[in-house]
Chains A and B, each alone.
Chain A
């Protein structure tokens, strides 16, 4: 039992929002412990060791010392019969953590680093086991599981705040130090709530089973974490960049609160089963090309689900007889599942660089077998039948002929695969309908036999964007690159999603996609566009002369402003692009000689000529057309550009006179 008792009536009578009886000290202590463990012990300390120049070979004994310290204290503290006051132990653990964080601000030799690591392990071991085994004294018995979820969620979310996550090793150490001191003050001030043993007899999870489940979960978590952390591509897709971090923090909060709700409804098995499903799914996706996006969503939720349970189970839910056994079991759980599971997971990541699916399947047995065992005899038979069908389907799928290996593909074929995988057909057609305005905008028409010869034809169904069957004739490679990376950089009002992730370092899919799009052309395309361009004439009916200034400037800024400044100069975009910038630097629209528009035209002839460039672009350059714009809008742009150029040239001539 708790060594310290307080006056219950004093606590109850003073039950305001900030009364300790509401359990907020427990929430703060939990959040602080998680912040210290996640951002400092797992992250900042390693960063600091990196700064100090410790090699991989030196890191292993350092981290080993931390694990040994953690295991020893987790097992030893609950058994020690001296100095048993939980409050004192928690404060000692927190102060130990703070001292170790401060120590990392010094220049550490490998031996000193090992000692500090062991100190972190010992302090954390003492803190976590004592806090969890006695948590009811700080968190109370009123909705304790939701409060655990809140503390855990706040801890995870805080660690994902970009300025903290991206802080330097010393900054993190200072934050860890501050958090520990704050938590020490809270532990010192907050009275321990009186909790009867009877109030805790709600345990439903057999200890052995819980130990197995948590070991598997921590193992998977640590392996996935190590793999992501040590792969620049995976890291870039998960927790690099402010947006990723805010999203991850939000997912952690959602995951922890969901866990709280499930646990409060007695759904421990569902909570841990879901955690396993999410973590197993993320491990699978980490080994799948392009799967990092899914893994980045599943991983934080899975981790959050089990992290709440990892506190709630030893504190409230695992079967135990009295406080002593609760403490011993918490210690064993953290020593085996926490420290050892974590070490094994990191070892797996270091040596195999992946989580073998056979291991995931073996871990799944731990979750599935007890679930099947609890079913009725009929349900058990059916579950086995379903599993058998899944297994047979798996075997059958491996026997069936597979698609050609990716290595045998050309870049264009690989790009076509990317086009299909990214679901481009849901917004883009590849079919120019004969006899319709499609021909002028997206033509020429391709013979149906040619379309049907593709495997499969990518005709599409709905156009949220242009038809792409001849896009290689209408857009340059530079434009396609920029547009796939950041559509609104070249088309201000584009509704296309950005595909920047296809261009991540080490990911060739962006170039493959562009190679495929550039290949979408035909021998007749050049002739077709020359004819269509020559035939284009604006219709004066569409052009509102009364709004020519207003419309012209607005439309120019909107559609042309991504490459041309209001003064007519070309923007510098594309110069620093891999593969080169503009094929030919665009002239100043209002001052320089134009490409392909002969001088000496009348104003109306010039307007038509400019209109043709606006509408269909300039083949052989990076200048795209705005084929889809109504003629009136094209003419408004052409009119404004022509008049602005005349004014500029006239002004220049007057100045020179």
Chain B
């Protein structure tokens, strides 16, 4: 064996595995969502499954969307960013993915068995509450080892990049501990006394975390354009200013009726313009453009609608209604899914083109948009008349039938992505490396 064997060889298989795991969880979560939609139309159908009632399936649906679909493409991005998709860490990355899915699967079983904490998205109890953070620690170790290997690699990162990656690793280190602690029943975040929901300050805080992710995300995916991007300075400056604004709002229980709260959240609207400008500074491949445009469009709608929803009078009417369900769907099915597919399409390169099925693209986005508009309308009606939901009549049922059809359409689209990607034949890492050499040679 020559010394060449010791050189890191990119293994796109691990990224593909992450995409497959994520898409599989998306499909499962969507199927559960369809079942929930059926139950809202035919409550007696639930008796067929006995104790596995609506309330038991809901956390499974929500948590699989979050910890399965939303998280795993970002894990793929992390592996790529830290070059953990190369050589031996790629194999261990694959093991980390299986461990992640195993922990999530056991979590699903425990939620169906009634193992809930009473805190939304934090239903980790019993064994999965320890195993899932352990899976994250395992992944962190793989990424950290890849980072350390990079110090002695043939192609070491620049000093600034090394430092930034070290900071990233340090920021990720407490995540498993926090995830273990967060389901604790003694801990609860600040509450908006007018609604019982989150305050404007905490919404701004979490929105800024998303903004930071959107600013960092292109670095693991594509190259920055050679020319100076003034928008980068504007964006990071705005993040800093909004961070200060967020800190000044404090973390107390504040109402959305306080002007400072809703006005602070309304400052997010600047990001409708800033994010696309910032992303223009990167070289996005042509095949990623549909998902790039969709991400930007959903982002704009999410920010504008989110800011509007938090206004006094609006939130008072829509809180606890389908109007907020519509907003959640906009965030998860609209924005997050488009963004994650953008990530996968770029990461998987020619394999990612499999995710560019036109009919799935339009089916998913069309159904999601129709769902959002329909349920915003339903929420508005419900806000004025709670009986609209509690004693369902023909109009409410018509809305819910359409929702079921939209859910089925989205399930079909997600199933199509999974099947198309699963059909891509596996390639050995060396073969991929060779292909890349050929590609580089032809470009040269």
Determine if B174 is an interface residue (Cβ-Cβ < 8 Å): no
Identify A293's interface contact among B49, B94, B186, CB under 8 A.
B49
A650 interfacial contact with B, CB 8 Å: no
Partner-contacting stretch, out of B128-136, B273-281, B291-299: B128-136
Q: Determine if B316 and A441 form an interchain contact, defined as CB atoms under 8 angstroms apart.
A: no
Interface residue ranges of A374-417 to B (CB < 8 Å): 378-379, 382-383, 385-386, 389-390, 392-394, 396-397, 400
Residue B70, interface by CB 8 Å: no
Binding-face segment, A24-32, A35-43, A327-335, A496-504: A496-504
Contact partner of A297 (CB less than 8 A), chosen from B49, B120, B131, B195, is: B49
Binary per-residue interface labels of chain B (101-112) against chain A in the complex, 1 for a CB within 8 Å, 0 otherwise: 010000001001
- Contacts A423-B55, A423-B59, A463-B320: A389 and B138 contacting too (C-beta < 8 A)? yes
Q: A244 CA to B324 CA in the complex, in Å?
A: 36
Assess whether A390 is in contact with B196, with CB atoms less than 8 Å apart. Answer: no
Residues of A within 8 A of B196 (CB): 429, 431, 433, 451, 459-460
Q: Does A426 count as interface, using CB distance less than 8 angstroms?
A: yes
Contacts of B116 in A (CB 8 A): 420-421, 423
**8 Å CB contact of A462 from B94, B129, B325:** B325
Shortest A657–chain B CB gap in Å is: 43
User: A6 interface residue, CB < 8 Å from B?
Assistant: no
B395 contacts chain A at the CB level, 8 A cutoff: no
CA gap between A127 and B41 in the complex, in Å: 49
Known: A243-B48, A452-B188. A434 touches B194 (CB 8 A): yes
Q: Are B130 and A393 in contact (CB under 8 A)?
A: yes
C-alpha gap A441/B134 in the complex (Å): 46
- CB pair A290–B51 under 8 Å, yes or no, is yes
Residue interface mask A293-318, B partner, CB < 8 A = 1: 11011000000000000000000000
A523 at the binding interface (Cβ < 8 Å):
no
Across-interface contacts of A455 in B (CB, < 8 A): 185-186
Chain A 461-475 interface 0/1 with B at a Cβ cutoff of 8 Å (1 = within): 111111000000000
- Contact across chains for B194 and A422 when beta carbons are under 8 A apart: no
Q: Which of B99, B321, B391 contacts A463 (CB 8 A)?
A: B321
Q: Is A649 an interface residue (CB 8 A)?
A: no
**Are A499 and B53 interface neighbours, CB within 8 A?**
yes
Q: Known contacts A394-B127, A431-B196; is A293 also within 8 Å of B52 by CB? A: yes
* Residue in A244, A378, A429 whose CB lies within 8 Å of B320: A429
B191, CB-defined interface residue at 8 Å: yes
- CB of B47 within 8 Å of the partner chain: yes
A497 touches B54 (CB 8 A): yes
Chain A residue with Cβ nearest B132: A393
A580 at the interface (CB under 8 A from B): no
Which listed segment binds A: B364-372, B382-390, B410-418? B382-390
Nearest B residue (CB) for A441: B386
Specify which of B91, B115, B118 is in contact with A425 (CB 8 Å cutoff). B118
Q: For B186, list chain A residues within 8 Å (CB).
A: 455
Residue B229 lies at the interface, judged by CB distance under 8 Å to chain A: no
Report the nearest B residue to A487, measured CB to CB: B43
Total B residues in contact with A, Cβ cutoff 8 Å: 68
Report if B98 contacts A (CB, 8 A): yes
| Complex contact A433–B195 (CB within 8 A) | yes
State whether the Cβ of A167 lies closer than 8 Å to any Cβ in chain B: no
Residue B56 at the A interface, CB < 8 A?
A: yes
CB of B422, distance to nearest CB on chain A (Å): 15
A421 to B51, CA, bound (A): 11
Q: In whole angstroms, what is the CA distance A292 to B49 when docked?
A: 11
Contact between A290 and B113, CB atoms less than 8 A apart: yes
Q: Is there a chain B Cβ closer than 8 Å to A247's Cβ?
A: yes
> A106: which B residues are within 8 A, CB to CB?
none
Identify A290's interface contact among B48, B99, B114, B392, CB under 8 A. B114
In the assembled complex, the Cα of A290 lies from the Cα of B88 at a distance in Å of 44
A421 touches B135 (CB 8 A): no
B168 within 8 A of A: no
With A463-B386, A497-B46 known as contacts, the answer to whether A378 contacts B54 (CB < 8 A) is: no
What's the minimum C-beta distance from A394 to chain B, rounded to whole angstroms? 7
Task: Determine the chain A residues whose CB is within 8 A of the CB of B129 once the complex forms.
Answer: 397
Q: How far is the CB of A625 from chain B (nearest CB, A)?
A: 13
Specify the chain A residue showing the minimal Cβ separation from B120: A461
Interface residue? A424 (CB, 8 A): yes
Is the Cβ of B114 less than 8 Å from the Cβ of A421?
Answer: yes
In the bound complex, residues from chain A placing their C-beta under 8 Å from that of B49 are 247, 293, 297
Cβ of A494 and Cβ of B43 under 8 Å apart?
A: yes
Determine the distance from Cα of A29 to Cα of B387 in the docked complex, in whole angstroms. 57
Q: Which residues does chain B contribute within 8 Å of A465, judged by CB atoms? A: 390
Within 8 A of B (CB), among A429-458: 429, 431, 433-436, 441, 448, 451-452, 455-458
Does B58 sit at the interface, judged by CB under 8 A? yes
Q: Residue A630 at the B interface, CB < 8 A?
A: yes
The interface residues of chain B lying within 8 Å CB-to-CB of A121 are none
Those of A259-299 within 8 Å (CB) of chain B: 281, 285, 288-294, 296-297
> Of the candidates A285, A379, A456, A494, which one forms a contact with B117 in the assembled complex, judged by CB atoms under 8 Å apart?
A456
Chain A residue nearest to B193 in the complex (CB):
A448
Tell me the smallest distance from the CB of B382 to a CB of chain A, in Å. Answer: 8
Instruction: Report whether B316 and A433 are in contact in the complex, using a CB–CB cutoff of 8 Å.
Output: yes
How far does the alpha carbon of A294 sit from the alpha carbon of B57 in the complex, in Å?
12
Tell me, in angstroms, the Cα distance from A247 to B391 when the chains sit together. Answer: 29
Chain B residue with minimal CB distance to A493?
B391
Q: Is the beta-carbon distance between B385 and A630 smaller than 8 angstroms?
A: yes
Asked if A495 lies at the interface with its beta carbon under 8 angstroms from chain B, I say yes
C-alpha gap A451/B192 in the complex (Å): 12
Asked whether B91 lies within 8 Å of A382 as measured between CB atoms, the reply is yes
**Are B113 and A294 in touch, CB under 8 angstroms?**
yes
CA distance A422 to B53 in the complex (A): 8
Task: Identify which of B191, B316, B392 contacts A452 (C-beta below 8 A).
Answer: B191
Kindly state the separation between the CA atoms of A297 and B113 in the bound complex, as whole angstroms. 12
- Whether A458 contacts B58 in the complex (CB less than 8 A), given A293-B50, A497-B46, comes out as no
Taking CB atoms and an 8 Å cut-off, the chain B residues in 156-209 that contact chain A are 185-186, 188, 191, 193-197
**Minimum Cβ distance to chain B for residue A597 (Å):** 24
Residue contact B386 to A390, C-beta cutoff 8 Å = no
Query: By the criterion CB–CB under 8 Å, are A433 and B127 in contact?
Result: no
**Cα distance, A466 to B390, chains bound together (Å):** 7
Distance of A557 from chain B, by nearest CB (Å): 13
Contact B43 A459 (CB under 8 A): no
What 0/1 pattern do residues 290 to 320 of B give for CB contact below 8 A with A?
0000000000000000000000000010011
B401 within 8 A of A: no
Shortest A414–chain B CB gap in Å is 13
The answer to whether B245 has its CB under 8 Å from any CB of chain A is: no
State whether the Cβ of A237 lies closer than 8 Å to any Cβ in chain B: yes
Interface centre among B59, B112, B117, B118 (most CB of A within 10 A): B118
Does B374 make an interface contact (CB < 8 A)? no
Interface contact A294-B52, CB-CB below 8 Å: yes
| Chain B residues near A497 (CB-CB < 8 A) | 39, 43, 46-47, 53-55
- What residue of chain A has the Cβ atom nearest to residue B137's Cβ? A389
Q: Does chain A have a CB within 8 A of B119?
A: yes
Out of B44, B102, B188, B390, which one reaches A390, CB within 8 Å? B102
State how many angstroms separate the Cβ of A15 from the closest Cβ of chain B. Answer: 35
Question: Can you pick out 15 interface pairs between chain A and chain B where the beta carbons lie within 8 Å of each other?
Answer: A382-B91, A382-B95, A396-B130, A421-B114, A421-B115, A423-B116, A426-B54, A426-B59, A433-B319, A441-B386, A461-B120, A462-B321, A487-B43, A495-B390, A495-B392
Closest 10 CB pairs of A and B: A423-B55, A421-B114, A431-B196, A293-B51, A382-B95, A420-B118, A455-B185, A426-B58, A497-B53, A463-B320
Besides A425-B55, A559-B391, 9 other A-B contacts (C-beta < 8 A): A382-B95, A397-B127, A423-B116, A426-B59, A434-B193, A460-B320, A461-B320, A500-B47, A629-B391
| B-to-A contact residues, CB < 8 Å | 39-40, 43-44, 46-59, 88, 91-92, 94-95, 98-99, 102, 109, 112-120, 126-127, 129-131, 134-135, 138, 185-186, 188, 191, 193-197, 253, 316, 319-322, 324-325, 385-387, 389-392
